[in-house]
A = this chain, B = another copy of it.
Amino acid sequence: MNSELLMSKIEALLFVMGDEGITAKQLTQLLDAELMEVEAALSELKTNYEQSNIRGITLKNLAGTYQLTTKPTMAETIKKLVENPTSNVLSAASLEVLAIIAYKQPITRVEIEDLRGVKSDRPIQTLVSRGLIQEVGRAEGTGRAILYGTTKEFLNYFGLQTIEELPPLPEEALKDDEQETDLFMTKFQEAFSSDEN
């Protein structure tokens, strides 16, 4: 693969992976390229970001994981985004958390974060303090994590009589993807216990 094409593919992959990032090894598998090629392309990309004045983003290597981030010089600009009440980036996070809780309640923080793929403790806190969600119990097992559910204020806020009035979701949505693996693990364990008897 020519190096420009490789760089563009790497940029696209880094971009969609968001804050998770991706390792050079994973890139070699996805791109069917040699590690050396990939590393050369990564380094060239980084130089390109750093040297171009029109780029606001750059490439960061954290513990072997590469990710795109904004340049440190952009910090002031991004701070404005946070301070500006018209930008919806913040309420968007809360709305996502609220939507997950509304449809999957009762649900723990860890499960919410698993679905969203990002830390969610702060949006949860704010939603609790706004009275839209509340603790509705504790999960079984070690840790006894807090289970969250929606409140009467939530219904009030969205003009609903009952939670059943929420428009239904498609059945496959938000289903646990790990079911299949779990099923296998269960069988795996069963097979062993019967072996032992």
Neighbouring B residues of A126 by C-beta, 8 Å: 170
A40: CB under 8 A from chain B?
A: no
Interface of A is mostly: helix
A74: CB under 8 A from chain B?
A: yes
A187: CB under 8 A from chain B?
A: no
A48: CB under 8 A from chain B?
A: yes
A186: CB under 8 A from chain B?
A: no
A55: CB under 8 A from chain B?
A: yes
Distance of A128 Cα from B53 Cα, bound (Å)? 44
A142: CB under 8 A from chain B?
A: no
Listed A/B pairs (26) with beta-carbon separation below 8 Å: A4-B53, A4-B54, A7-B54, A8-B54, A8-B71, A9-B77, A11-B54, A11-B55, A11-B57, A12-B56, A12-B71, A12-B77, A12-B78, A15-B68, A16-B70, A16-B81, A16-B89, A17-B81, A20-B88, A26-B87, A29-B86, A31-B77, A45-B54, A128-B167, A129-B168, A129-B170
